[in-house]
Amino acid sequence: MLDATPTTLVERQALRVNPAKTCQPIGAMYSALGIHGCLPHSHGSQGCCSYHRSHLTRHFREPIMAATSSFTEGTAVFGGGANLRQALKTIYKLYDPPVVAITTTCLSETIGDDIPTIIREATESGVIPNGKTVIHANTPSYVGCHITGWSNMTASMVKYLSERSGESRNQVNLIPGYVEPSDTRELKQMLATWGIDAVTFPDTSDVVDTPQTGHFQMYPQGGTTVEALKTTGDSLATIALGPEASTQAAIALDAKCQVPAHILDLPIGVAATDRLVQTLMDVTGTQPTDEIVNARGRLVDVMTDMQAYLYEKRVAIAGDPDQVVPLVEMLVTCGAKPVYVITGAESKYFRDRTQAILGETVPEAVIRDNADLFYLHQLMKQEPVDLLISNVYGKYIARAEDVPFVRYGWPILDRVGHSYFPTLGYGGSLHLLCTIINTLLDRKDRDDPDEVFELVL
Ligand code: SF4
């Protein structure tokens, strides 16, 4: 399908081919789903909302509920205020959600709808009933990407809801980043095992991976409650995982309620997870349990045992900055060579951290933010790799170049399991590492001549 991709690189300024990112409101909608009882509302045309919902539905294989202001041509002229007021009336009449989280779209941002004023007037006029919570985030999709949207909505939770009562609580805030529900569950379990009380927000576990019970629940049991979000201003500290996704909310919480922020890489691999564990030790003054220490040991054991199969393997990686940076670190620790590393987002964090990791170990590595998969494919055609790691869109490149392929990141639309098996923490990293190694071993089995085709490693 992509066999005709040309090898010659041409510098492009105003054209993306196969972008390695999606639009802002998708990320904001995903973040909003992490509030308990929240109905996301897309302030724009039905097409935007359908796209956002369907992308989330396809990735998580769960029905994603969201409302829309249903813009028409007239709205583009007269503004979307009347549509939003009517939408809120309908929402409370039909669905009665405890929380509504409004995301804007390209069109409503271009019109310039003043959402805070519309929310205030709707509250004063009784359109928004007493006791109901409505928040919003500005998410124009001609700026940033899905990570920006996630970041904006998560920061809005702080701006609208966090409070400082004056009495501090022996708890930490955990912002897990733009990750799978399984990752959030893994992190929560780690803290629970450790005995650390935490407010994890947004928490999409048990929202987009709900069990089949035979009964439809409009508002699943998961998600961070508004009451818990209000207490985040009294916490000891905020642990923000994934700088691009979580920094904004952590800094907003520090500015609003003076809760110190610790901004860390996503805990992928031993080194990044160690940094998280060390930070938790410093913040709480406690030690991790044997269970956590043993999980670390198992990860180190597999890294040591299987290092020969990753050593010097040339890897191409595309994905979100927060995932790619620690993934590169983990692969380098295991002896692999990430030679092409790209992200669709514009990210100084990505550039600086990836360069710091690869500068001495893989000095020939091509590191590029604000790039696309077409560019990555061209690099791979110039000098092949042994493995490609990217979201689902990399499958076309993997097929064209006959390269082993690990699906990782957002979105994955053609496989199951990504939202159920974590890739964060010691346990999650072990799962991710085994997936990568087994993919390489599958290829080895396919290609080995009979005389070295082994039953036992
Ligand atoms: S890019 Fe803009 S117009 Fe397109 S779906 Fe996203 S918000 Fe809507």
> Which atom of ligand 1 lies nearest, measured to the CA of 45?
8
| DSSP code per residue over 333-368 | HTT-EEEEEE-SS--HHHHHHHHHHHHHHSTT-EEE
Is the CB of 48 inside a 6 Å radius of any atom of ligand 1? yes
Helix (H) or strand (E) holding 207, with range, is none
> Which atom of ligand 1 lies nearest, measured to the CA of 52?
5
pLDDT in the model for residue 169: 98
Nearest to 226 by CA among 113, 132, 138: 132
> Which residues, 6 or more positions from 326, have their beta carbon under 8 angstroms from its beta carbon?
265, 266, 267, 268, 269, 271, 272
pLDDT in the model for residue 415: 97
Backbone phi, psi, residue 42, to 5°: -95, 115
Q: 44 and 71 in contact (C-beta within 8 Å)? A: yes
> Which atom of ligand 1 lies nearest, measured to the CA of 25?
7
Alpha-carbon separation of residue 179 from 187, 336, 372, 407 (angstroms):
11, 24, 21, 14
What is the C-alpha to C-alpha distance for residues 226 and 75, in angstroms, rounded to an integer? 32
Which of the 8 DSSP states describes residue 175?
E
Could you identify the residue written with the tokens 């399908």?
1
Nearest to 187 by CA among 174, 197, 178: 174
Identify residue 427 by its one-letter amino acid code.
G
**What would the two tokens of residue 330 be?**
């983990």
What is the C-alpha to C-alpha distance for residues 109 and 148, in angstroms, rounded to an integer? 15
Q: Which residue has a Cα nearest atom 4 of ligand 1?
A: 48
pLDDT in the model for residue 11: 87
Is the CB of 145 inside a 6 Å radius of any atom of ligand 1? no
**What would the two tokens of residue 106 be?**
């390209």
What is the C-alpha to C-alpha distance for residues 318 and 376, in angstroms, rounded to an integer? 8
What is the C-alpha to C-alpha distance for residues 226 and 79, in angstroms, rounded to an integer? 30
> Which residues, 6 or more positions from 158, have their beta carbon under 8 angstroms from its beta carbon?
232, 249, 252, 253, 256
Whether the link from the prior residue into 98 is cis, omega within 30° of 0, is: no
Q: How far is CA 52 from the centre of its chain?
A: 15
Q: Are strands 387-390 and 314-318 parallel, antiparallel or unpaired?
A: parallel
Distance of CA 106 from the midpoint of ligand 1 (Å): 6
Distance of CA 358 from the midpoint of ligand 1 (Å): 35
Alpha helices in 236-285, H assignment, sequence order:
243-257, 270-284
Which of the listed residues 21, 23, 113 should we mutate to test ligand 1's pocket, taking the one with most ligand atoms within 8 A of CB?
23
Q: Which residue has a Cα nearest atom 3 of ligand 1?
A: 106
Helix (H) or strand (E) holding 381, with range, is helix 373-382
pLDDT in the model for residue 426: 98
Distance of CA 145 from the midpoint of ligand 1 (Å): 11
Nearest to 345 by CA among 374, 321, 381: 321
Backbone phi, psi, residue 284, to 5°: -100, -15
Helix (H, G, I), strand (E, B) or coil at 280: helix
Is the CB of 23 inside a 6 Å radius of any atom of ligand 1? yes
Distance of CA 44 from the midpoint of ligand 1 (Å): 9
pLDDT in the model for residue 13: 84
pLDDT in the model for residue 14: 87
Could you identify the residue written with the tokens 């999650």?
428
pLDDT in the model for residue 457: 84
Query: Which residues of the chain are under the pLDDT cut of 50?
Result: none
> Which residues, 6 or more positions from 436, have their beta carbon under 8 angstroms from its beta carbon?
310, 331, 387, 389, 406
Given phi > 0 = left and psi -120 to 50 = alpha, else beta, which region is 121? alpha
The rounded radius of gyration (Å) of the Cα atoms in the chain is 23
Backbone phi, psi, residue 214, to 5°: 90, -5
Is the CB of 149 inside a 6 Å radius of any atom of ligand 1? no
